[in-house]
């Protein structure tokens, strides 16, 4: 399906691997000019950018800590200057640092909240001004079904993802009159590099929770995100779309 993204510029945080890489690649295949951020894996991000360029689109990589407020403003400015604007923001960068709450350290809590929630605030804030002035924009925030249902030993992660969902709904109300769509994609278990390292019993438990009998591939999430970045989704805002094979239900 041609989503008509050829004249669009998209910024994807955490674009060096997994879901973020799949999103960046799909947007590039659909014709968008794509900027990817990464915190450390610059070589991996550059490989994704090279694939986007091979597909006929432009791409750039910026190394940045999403929790750094000032760096975020600079990053968004650099994308606009280099790629000629900004039409879609996809916040995906995140971390998990699990533990039951009676053993969770302050560092565990702060690291996850600062990356997952503050990081999304930083980029949503920076992009919103541009979208508001241009009377156009698409924001897609990647959360998790665990932000809806909670997860054992993930108080910090669940809180951050739940906060992203609430923030996105509020932002959809603020930006709607400026023709800006704000939506959330909430994956269940996705077969990323990280997921392949978890114990088999936990992976099987996730599979058994689904009604389709499988976990998602990163491309399954990317396809939904690409739709939300296109004008085919022009009347969809404030929604939380689960991509989980029925794992939540």
With beta carbons less than 8 A apart as the criterion, state whether 161 and 142 touch.
no
Own/partner contacts of 229-232, CB < 8 Å, gap of 24 or more, are 229/3, 229/5, 229/8, 229/10, 229/27, 229/32, 229/87, 229/88, 229/90, 229/138, 229/140, 230/3, 230/4, 230/5, 230/30, 230/138, 231/4, 232/3
- Residues acting as catalytic residues: 157
Closest CA to 172 of 163, 181, 162: 181
Token pair of 53 as six digits = 């360029």
Token pair of 95 as six digits = 């971390």
> Which of helix, strand or coil describes residue 61?
strand
Beta bridge partners of residue 15, listed in sequence order:
none
Q: HSE-up of 91 (CA within 13 Å, CB side)?
A: 35
């Amino acid at each position: 399906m041609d989503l008509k993204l050829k004249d669009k510029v998209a910024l994807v945080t955490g674009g060096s691997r997994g879901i973020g890489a799949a999103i960046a690649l799909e947007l590039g295949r659909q014709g968008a000019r794509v900027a990817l951020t990464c915190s450390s894996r610059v070589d991996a991000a550059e490989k994704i950018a090279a694939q986007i360029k091979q597909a006929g689109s432009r791409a750039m990589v910026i190394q940045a800590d999403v929790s750094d407020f000032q760096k975020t403003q600079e990053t968004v400015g650099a994308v606009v200057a280099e790629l000629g604007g900004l039409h879609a923001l996809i916040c995906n960068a995140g971390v998990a640092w699990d533990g039951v709450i009676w053993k969770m350290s302050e560092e565990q809590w702060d690291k996850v909240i600062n990356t997952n929630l503050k990081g999304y605030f930083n980029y949503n804030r920076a992009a919103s001004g541009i979208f508001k002035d241009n009377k156009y924009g698409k924001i897609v925030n990647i959360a998790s079904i665990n932000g809806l249902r909670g997860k054992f030993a993930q108080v910090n992660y669940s809180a951050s993802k739940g906060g992203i969902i609430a923030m996105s709904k509020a932002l959809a109300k603020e930006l709607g009159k400026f023709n800006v769509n704000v939506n959330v994609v909430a994956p269940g278990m996705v077969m990323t590099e990280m997921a392949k390292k978890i114990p088999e019993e936990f992976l099987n438990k996730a599979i058994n929770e689904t009604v389709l009998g499988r976990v998602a591939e990163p491309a399954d999430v990317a396809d939904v995100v690409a739709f939300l970045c296109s004008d085919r989704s022009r009347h969809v805002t404030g929604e939380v779309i689960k991509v989980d094979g029925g794992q939540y239900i």
